[in-house]
């Protein structure tokens, strides 16, 4: 419950306060968000499976974000930034879908 | 990028109950765990850390959504090379538009100059045509002048008397003249027909009404001087009546003739 509240408060703060993101970080924000979403879905599934561990969740969340941003940064440096970020989004999307399928099986038993 | 579920993928049954592997108390399904995690709210370390991370996620999500849906920020997330390309395109486009603007401005000033000149020339030509038209009798004229009415009950007035009168008026500065509806111009002629006077081949009958445009202060004395037109006519037992007027309208017209042989030498 506290976790859901954290998400809601984060969205509200982001909408109300309109924080200014440093321009250097801006290109990585969308990828980081998608990676974090993947971690969250994974954590939700783990919780439903009963094997949720907050330490694992923190590490996976942060590493997801950092690695995704790193890949995009590297891609930008190599001149294939847009293609590589597309690839990252595709991979993360597939993972989100599979996690969502597992969650669905738990919640709806179908 | 690995997180837990992938490690547990194998052998994971579709639904919750794990036949006692997770404790003896009533089978803990995923759904129940979810509900238990949501309610009642518990202030545990796990919940707090997850809340902090989710706060960060929500923040990033909101920022990204806002900057994407914001029109002015359409370029915010764009990459450097895209921005450079867009900037170059904008520069080229601006350059083209500048060139176009300069060309159009030149064209406009050309048109203005030439149309001014053409309009001025047209105006002068029109004015000239009006002046010449008054002389040639092709346009109506109006202005101050006199009306001279010659009544001749005894038929003593002949063509030469009318011609004398006309010459006197011209000498006094008459600019436009009509007699009984016939415009008098340079080549007007008077003839003595069997049944009266003819002007330019048109028979005119009494009384002879001269409408003359010119300076009334010159015209009237010119007619009335001793031994002048009026006295001569009175000797012929005709009466001449001179009336000054500030507005005389000479509206009898002549058609303009193209000369057959003479051409403008300019």
Within a domain: residue A64? yes
Question: pLDDT tens track of chain A, all 110 residues?
Answer: 777 888 888 888 888 877 777 777 777 888 888 999 999 899 888 888 888 888 888 899 999 899 988 888 888 888 887 888 888 899 999 999 999 999 888 888 87
| Count of pairs with CB atoms under 8 A, one residue in A, one in B | 189
For chain A, the domain total comes to 1
Helix (H) or strand (E) holding B144: strand B141-151
How far lies B15's CA from each of A22, A94, A109, B20, B143, in Å?
A: 45, 21, 6, 14, 115
User: Would the CB atoms of B60 and A33 count as touching at under 8 Å?
Assistant: yes
Distances in whole angstroms, Cα of residue A99 to Cα of each of A26, B9, B36, B144, B213: 27, 10, 20, 108, 110
Residue A69 lies in a domain: yes
Q: How far apart are CA B225 and CA B205, in angstroms?
A: 26
Q: B52 to chain A, minimum CA–CA distance in Å?
A: 6
Nearest to A11 among B5, B16, B61 (CB): B61
Q: Which residue out of B41, B60, B72 would a mutagenesis test of the A interface target, given it has the greatest number of A Cβ atoms within 10 Å?
A: B60
> Closest Cα of chain B to A69: distance in Å?
12
- B49 to chain A: which residues are within 8 Å by CB? 54, 57-58
Q: CB count, 10 Å around CB of B12?
A: 14
Give the pair of three-digit tokens for residue A67: 């690695």
Supply the pLDDT for residue B242.
Answer: 86
B87 touches A at CB < 8 Å: no
- Taking an 8 Å cut-off on Cβ atoms, the answer to whether B66 and A76 are in contact is no
Sort out which chain B residues have CB atoms less than 8 A from A11's CB and list them. Answer: 58-59, 61-62
Q: Could you check whether the bond before residue B22 is cis, i.e. omega within 30 degrees of 0?
A: no
Which of A38, A17, A58, A74 lies closest to B47, judged by CA? A58
pLDDT score for B198: 83
Q: Residue A78's domain spans which residues?
A: 22-108
Q: Is A67 among the domain residues?
A: yes
Closest Cα to residue A89, out of A37, A45, A40, A11?
A: A37
With respect to residue A6, please indicate whether it lies within any of the assigned structural domains.
Answer: no
Q: Name the stretches of chain B with pLDDT < 50.
A: 1-24
Distance CA B243, CA B118 (A): 44
Contact predicate B149/B206, CB 8 Å: no
Residue A68 inside a domain? The answer is yes
SS3 B65: helix
Distance from CA of B15 to the nearest CA of A (A): 5
The answer to whether position A80 is within a domain reads yes
Is the residue at A2 inside a domain?
A: no
Q: Do B3 and A60 touch (CB under 8 A)?
A: yes
Q: What is the ipTM for the molecules in this complex?
A: 0.83
Burial of B63 (0-12, 13-18, 19+ CB in 10 A): buried
Q: Do A105 and B15 touch (CB under 8 A)?
A: yes
């Amino acid at each position: 419950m506290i976790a859901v509240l954290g998400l809601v408060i984060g969205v509200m703060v982001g909408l109300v306060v309109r924080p200014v993101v440093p321009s250097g970080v801006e290109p990585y924000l969308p990828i980081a968000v998608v990676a974090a979403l993947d971690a969250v879905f994974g954590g939700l599934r783990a919780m439903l499976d009963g094997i949720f561990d907050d330490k694992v969740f923190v590490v996976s969340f942060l590493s997801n974000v950092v690695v995704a941003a790193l890949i995009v940064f590297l891609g930008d440096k190599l001149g294939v930034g847009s293609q590589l970020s597309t690839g990252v989004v595709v991979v993360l999307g597939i993972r989100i879908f599979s996690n969502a399928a597992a969650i669905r099986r738990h919640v709806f038993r179908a | 990028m690995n997180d837990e579920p992938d490690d547990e993928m194998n052998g994971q049954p579709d639904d919750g109950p794990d036949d006692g592997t997770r404790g003896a108390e009533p089978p803990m399904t995923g759904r129940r765990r979810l509900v238990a995690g949501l309610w009642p709210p518990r202030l545990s370390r796990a919940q707090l850390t997850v809340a902090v991370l989710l706060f960060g996620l929500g923040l990033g999500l909101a920022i990204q959504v806002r900057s994407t849906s914001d029109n002015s920020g359409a370029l915010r997330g764009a990459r450097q090379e895209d921005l450079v390309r867009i900037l170059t395109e904008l520069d080229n486009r601006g350059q083209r538009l500048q060139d176009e603007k300069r060309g159009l401005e030149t064209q406009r000033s050309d048109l203005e100059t030439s149309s001014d000149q053409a309009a001025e020339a047209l105006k002068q030509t029109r004015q000239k045509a009006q002046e010449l038209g008054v002389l040639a009798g092709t346009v109506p004229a109006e202005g101050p002048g006199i009306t001279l009415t010659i009544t001749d009950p005894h038929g003593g007035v002949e063509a030469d008397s009318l011609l004398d009168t006309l010459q006197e008026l011209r000498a006094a500065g008459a600019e436009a003249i009509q007699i009984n509806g016939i415009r008098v111009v340079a080549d007007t002629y008077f003839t003595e027909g069997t049944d009266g006077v003819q002007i330019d081949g048109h028979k005119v009958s009494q009384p002879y009404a001269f409408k003359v445009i010119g300076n009334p202060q010159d015209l009237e004395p010119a007619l009335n001087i001793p031994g002048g037109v009026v006295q001569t006519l009175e000797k012929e037992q005709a009466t001449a009546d001179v009336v000054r007027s500030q507005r005389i309208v000479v509206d009898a017209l002549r058609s303009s003739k193209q000369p057959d042989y003479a051409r403008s030498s300019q």
